[in-house]
Amino acid sequence: MKVYNSTGEITSITTPVNKLKLFHSLSTKPMQQAPYRFNNQKSFNNFWYTAWSVLSAKQTFPNCQFNLHTDDLGARLLEDLPYDNIYTDLNTLDTHRNLFASAKFKALEVEELGAIHIDGDVILTNPLAAAMLNYEMNEVIVQNSEPTYQREITLIKPLIRNADVLFGKGSFCCGVIGINNQKLKDRYIDEYFKYAAVLKRNSSVIDAIMQCNPRVIFDLIFEQANLFRLCVEGKYPVKRLCKNVSEIFQLRHSGISHYIGSLKHKEENIARCKAAVKEMAPEIYTRLAVAEMEGI
């Protein structure tokens, strides 16, 4: 495993075509900003689940290629995990704190075409997952379909006037996402950072919106709804791992568990996560436990 810093330009990451190619992204910057500070238990859970995710994937698929894109702090805490490569290319990430998915897009930009991003709370537990993560004849893999996020559309309209047209067609959950078409990948990334720039230029407006609507998540439209629109417009075939969020638990029969939303913070699931890390990598468990106790 190699650790790369952000001083050298990364143009691509290549792996043998017969390998399952996975990657994580984890930026610690949003976690250090209110109200997500590291002494917040919910914030630190991201490290526990990320550790469980890569450990379980490597145990289930020993020959898979698994990369991590993070920053210096993330690399320091996670450097002993069995990633093939750790890139600290997120040190320079500079987007509004509302956009957690910007780390994913920065990583997607440099990963090989067809590599699949799984969120840190997605756990691969069975070799059956390999079939689910096979593109077959499709050019896009997503977790499931989701409804239109009208709240986010309405709130962003003062800044993006045609938001209804752009984001009102439907949505995909991108807890698992892979793109195997270069034209789509490039456009998807370009448009995301275009919208991210709008938020950055209007930070005071977005901060005011968040103060009144603390649960607003603009990635729901910039990441998820925009991918839906681009796939529809370009007629790209999409493989959904399940139809909708109500079927997400059925994925566990195929070896994919996603501790999405509030599930990640349930005490029994956190306990399961920590126990799994302790069993598979006791030294990493100890390191994370100390960091959590000390508040980093």
> Which pLDDT score, from 0 to 100, does residue 35 have?
53
At position 20, the amino acid (one-letter code) is L
Indicate whether 288 pLDDT > 50. yes
Sign of the CA dihedral with 257 first, then 258, 264, and 266 last: negative
**Residue 285 pLDDT level (bands cut at 50, 70, 90):** very high
- Once rounded to an integer, what is the mean pLDDT over residues 51-61? 98
Instruction: Break the chain into its structural domains and give their ranges.
Output: 21-294
| pLDDT tens digits, one per residue of 110-154 | 999 999 999 999 999 999 999 999 999 999 999 999 999 999 999
| pLDDT tens digits, one per residue of 3-15 | 656 555 544 444 4
> Which pLDDT score, from 0 to 100, does residue 1 have?
58
> Which pLDDT score, from 0 to 100, does residue 248 have?
85
Q: Could you tell me the fold of the domain covering 21-294?
A: Spore Coat Polysaccharide Biosynthesis Protein SpsA; Chain A (3.90.550)
Indicate whether 167 pLDDT > 80. yes
> Which pLDDT score, from 0 to 100, does residue 14 have?
43
Q: Which region among 4-18, 77-91, 118-132, 270-284 has the lowest average model confidence (pLDDT)?
A: 4-18
- Once rounded to an integer, what is the mean pLDDT over residues 16-25? 80
Indicate whether 216 pLDDT > 50. yes
Task: Report the predicted TM-score, pTM, of the whole model to 2 decimal places.
Answer: 0.91
Based on the number of CB atoms within 10 Å of its own CB, is 159 exposed (0-12), middle (13-18) or buried (19 or more)? Answer: middle
> How many CB atoms neighbour CB 4 within 10 A?
16
Average pLDDT, the chain: 91
- Compare 83 and 39 and report the one with higher pLDDT: 83
- Distance, in Å, from the CA atom of 169 to the CA atom of 8, rounded to the nearest integer, reads 40
- Distance, in Å, from the CA atom of 183 to the CA atom of 176, rounded to the nearest integer, reads 20
Residue 82 contacts by C-beta under 8 Å, 6 or more apart in sequence? Answer: 1, 54, 55, 58, 66
**Residue 37 pLDDT level (bands cut at 50, 70, 90):** very low
